[in-house]
Amino acid sequence: MKGKRIGYKRVSTNEQSPESQLIGLTLDKVFIEIETGYSTKNRHQLHNLKNYVREDDIVFVECMDRLGRDGYDLDETVEFLLKKGVEIHFVREGLILGKKNDLMSKLAYDMMKSFIHFFSQLAKERQRIGIDKAKREGRYKGGKTKLTREKIEYIKQQLPLRVSIGKIAVEIGVSRNSLYRYMHKLGLAKEYVGDGLRKKGNTSTGLV
């Protein structure tokens, strides 16, 4: 049975456009992610893709760092897909991993993955040094967490399901207090009252 051709596009911010990725390819389905590539923790579309794919499907990704910038996360995702019998095409690198995988393809993947991981860690180290310097000079005020469209949609989907506020906060990478503030700003907390965001007239603490 012929598998589906599935695309995965990822950009880090709302200001970037995923339309520049996988141009000219005919795809049966596309998953679009707006999230950083340093971790797979909050990449809900990647999780959806992993649940969606079946044996003999082909997943197309513009380049390796779109799938992941951390070597360990990248390996975990690639191994997961390969074990499901899925073929992976990294378009820009011209690299194909799958059932007919040869030693040269694996070697090329391992080398490029090492470079991606190295430069990712280097960027984190430079950021840490910059933050430490700013703290010493009294200029560091901390970063502001911004909710992407993806995270906002995730919150809207989870609240009616009575998923705990604590769990939602962990999934999108913010504190409970920050999540409460975002919910009020977005008008998502109007029907809830109290610390546990319990629905009016409902004494259940299922949302806490």
State pLDDT tens for residues 126-155. 777 777 777 777 776 665 556 788 888 888
Q: Are residues 92 and 13 in the same domain?
A: yes
Q: What confidence tier does 195 reach under pLDDT thresholds 50, 70, 90?
A: very low
Q: Are 88 and 81 in contact (CB under 8 A)?
A: yes
Work out the average pLDDT over 87-99.
Answer: 91
Report the pLDDT value the prediction gives residue 1, as an integer from 0 to 100.
Answer: 65
Catalytic-labelled residue, pool 12, 105, 164, 178: 12
Residue 53, domain CATH: 3.40.50.1390
Annotation marks residue 12 as catalytic:
yes
Query: Among residues 58, 91, 108, which one ends one of the domains?
Result: 108
Q: Which of 96-105, 116-125, 195-204 has the highest mean pLDDT?
A: 96-105
Sheet holding 5-11, edge to edge: 29-34, 5-11, 58-61, 87-90, 95-97
Does 26 fall in a domain?
yes
Q: Are residues 181 and 88 in the same domain?
A: no
Number of domains in the chain: 2
In terms of residue numbers, what domain contains 177?
A: 149-199
Work out the average pLDDT over 191-197.
Answer: 40
Per-residue model confidence as pLDDT tens digits over 14-68: 778 899 999 999 999 999 998 877 778 788 999 999 999 999 999 999 998 899 8
Does 207 fall in a domain?
no
Q: What confidence tier does 182 reach under pLDDT thresholds 50, 70, 90?
A: confident
